[in-house]
Amino acid sequence: MLVTVLSYFLCSYGLLYHAFVPCSVPEQLRAHTVNHQQFLGKWFLKATVGRRETDILKFKDLDSMWISMEEPVNDTLLVTGKMRIGDDCITQTWTYHIFPDRDDVVLEGLPKRRTPLWSGKWANCSDCLIIQEVEPPLKETDTEDSLNRYLLHMRQSDNNPEVVKAFQNNLACHNKSTIFILPQEKEFCT
């Protein structure tokens, strides 16, 4: 009985708290209207957050990762990633397309994946970029996306714990609290 009462109390408290202190919402960078030049260059992946462990699982083996964005032709972003897994370096390339009727970028080969870009100001970092990856439910009867993760990228290679903490706290407020912070214990791949 006490557990049930306590459960109702905590739920009510949570609802009231969010009524008076709502979660902040990030500013979406509308891919078809922003200056793409601001995305070009080198970015270091610092952390990834999702609702479930499966959302971030593919990053758990990484020690470090950095990406380079180029715009080889208009409305296309070419992203090259350099990932360290143990003592090995892996290079991978992704092509994203920007369409005038969409606010997100579209990953070539995965047209159902939505990839919105968010301002790093949400993590108290003007020199950051947050990339979200969302895939629809696997079955029509499922109510939850099959993938929903956020990736925090910074221009600097060193870690900034305050930025990562702000990123984590803002997403936890949106019920996404499973986080992986890249350890960066070894040197970056070149």
Please indicate, yes or no, if residue 89 is contained in any of the structural domains. Answer: yes
HSE value, Cβ hemisphere, 13 Å, CA-based, for 178: 13
Please indicate, yes or no, if residue 43 is contained in any of the structural domains. Answer: yes
pTM above 0.75, yes or no: yes
User: How confident is the model over 19-55, as pLDDT tens digits?
Assistant: 445 798 989 999 988 888 888 999 999 999 999 999 9
How far is 174 from 129, CA to CA, in rounded Å? 18
Please indicate, yes or no, if residue 15 is contained in any of the structural domains. Answer: no
Q: What is the CATH number of the domain that holds 57?
A: 2.40.128.20
Q: How many domains does the chain have?
A: 1
